[in-house]
Structure 1
């Protein structure tokens, strides 16, 4: 009997399929399907096309407008199957989803890969790869003043509650979460810009947890400044 988590992820995949139908259908089914070889041959040609492009925005446009719609149906069918054959097509598509910042699909696909025990083709497992990609995206969005939700919290909660990742990765997430709460109007982490003790205490808690996971993560100064700010508010000396 499927677990509640598996049922939730299967439903999430089906919803994603409904939201975006592919413009070109290329299918592959079965255990080591013969058609997969044809797909991989096409993929090799498309990778050469990508490599020939010099501008990053041109690469993104090709992935978004042509390649992802071309292979998407095949990957979704693969994810719905019970077969666990090695599929390089899926690995490329996960990377491309992050590249075009379609994070909802990218995270959902990583979740399915983790749930089904897919072997990662990267130097990291799927959970670590997903965590690294989402953190990099969150840092970029935050620096530009854009929203990072729900994707950052979605993955942060998985790191805290589900995934067993290396302590350095965990520390980076706690540090980012803590500093994000301290942002001033210019997006810079500044404890003196926050007047809510509850937010300051939450930020301190995140930063302390970051330090526990990796003492070299660099949060000591921030923690000290938060403590000073809390005392100043409580004393009424610097509000």
Structure 2
């Protein structure tokens, strides 16, 4: 059968379905055809390369941030099972980094923070275009979110505390972050303590933030006064 005839039949079938009000048949998910095992993982990797390339191209063509967020939510659902398969098989793939980005972009912080800690432990890297470590990406994302939540008068916990404890080394080896990022963490932690009326602790943290270049002089002075008042 010629390509032209095949195309004509396809168009004719589409018109007949449209006329009858029938939906287009779903395209098979080619990712699901890859078997398990070493060869299966290699096949899955190749299929993921192709699927990811197409989805990233589609995302790039969307200008609306809201629309992009909606598409990223569908991608999180689409690839969740494949991410779990890669994790279970200890297979590294670019999808793992993109999945982390999408979780933060869509505000899925509960999953994002948990998954981010696994990525750091497993040595997963972000896609090359980000030119940042996972630690710095996560720190920046949480700080941006925490600033907005704090300004709106909402709690930044438990997500801020979880990331802060890892970044500061409270529970593990401290993350290697630029000083300006660490300063922002101490600033936010100091503000959190001050809001909770733990002024003495806030002073210690804000002094650390100040030493790293954070603009906290006003907040620090206020906490010092309140801490002195509490002691007296």
> TM-score, length-normalised on structure 2?
0.74
Equivalent in the alignment of 2:181: 169
The question of whether the paired residues in 1 share the 8 Å contact of 2:96 and 2:124 is answered with: no
Deviation at 1:231, TM superposition (A): 3.5
| 2: CA distance, partners of 1:206 / 1:118 | 31
Equivalent in the alignment of 2:10: none
Give 2:145's match in structure 1, choosing from 133, 137, 140.
137
| 1: CA distance, partners of 2:62 / 2:208 | 43
Q: Are the structure 2 counterparts of residues 112 and 25 from structure 1 closer, same or farther at C-alpha, using a change threshold of 3 Å?
A: farther
The question of whether the paired residues in 2 share the 8 Å contact of 1:79 and 1:112 is answered with: no
The question of whether the paired residues in 2 share the 8 Å contact of 1:114 and 1:127 is answered with: yes
> TM-score, length-normalised on structure 1?
0.72
Q: Are the structure 2 counterparts of residues 43 and 119 from structure 1 closer, same or farther at C-alpha, using a change threshold of 3 Å?
A: closer
Q: Are the structure 2 counterparts of residues 25 and 90 from structure 1 closer, same or farther at C-alpha, using a change threshold of 3 Å?
A: farther
| 2: CA distance, partners of 1:221 / 1:139 | 17
Work out the number of aligned pairs and report it. Answer: 194
Q: Any idea what SS the aligned residue of 1:33 has?
A: helix
Deviation at 1:25, TM superposition (A): 9.6
Q: Does 1:146 align with 2:145?
A: no
| 1: CA distance, partners of 2:63 / 2:228 | 54
Structure number with bigger Rg = 2
Deviation at 1:234, TM superposition (A): 5.2
Give 1:99's match in structure 2, choosing from 101, 105, 111.
105
Q: Please identify, of 142-151 and 128-137, the stretch whose mean Cα deviation from structure 2 is larger.
A: 142-151
| 2: CA distance, partners of 1:209 / 1:54 | 41
Q: Does 1:59 align with 2:68?
A: yes
Equivalent in the alignment of 1:208: 207
Deviation at 1:49, TM superposition (A): 2.0
Q: Map 1:24-103 to 2 at 5 A.
A: 26=31, 30=38, 33-64=42-73, 66-83=74-91, 85=92, 87-103=93-109
Q: Are the structure 2 counterparts of residues 26 and 225 from structure 1 closer, same or farther at C-alpha, using a change threshold of 3 Å?
A: same
| 2: CA distance, partners of 1:69 / 1:26 | 14
The question of whether the paired residues in 1 share the 8 Å contact of 2:166 and 2:175 is answered with: no
The question of whether the paired residues in 1 share the 8 Å contact of 2:31 and 2:44 is answered with: no
Deviation at 1:102, TM superposition (A): 0.9
Q: Any idea what SS the aligned residue of 1:70 has?
A: helix
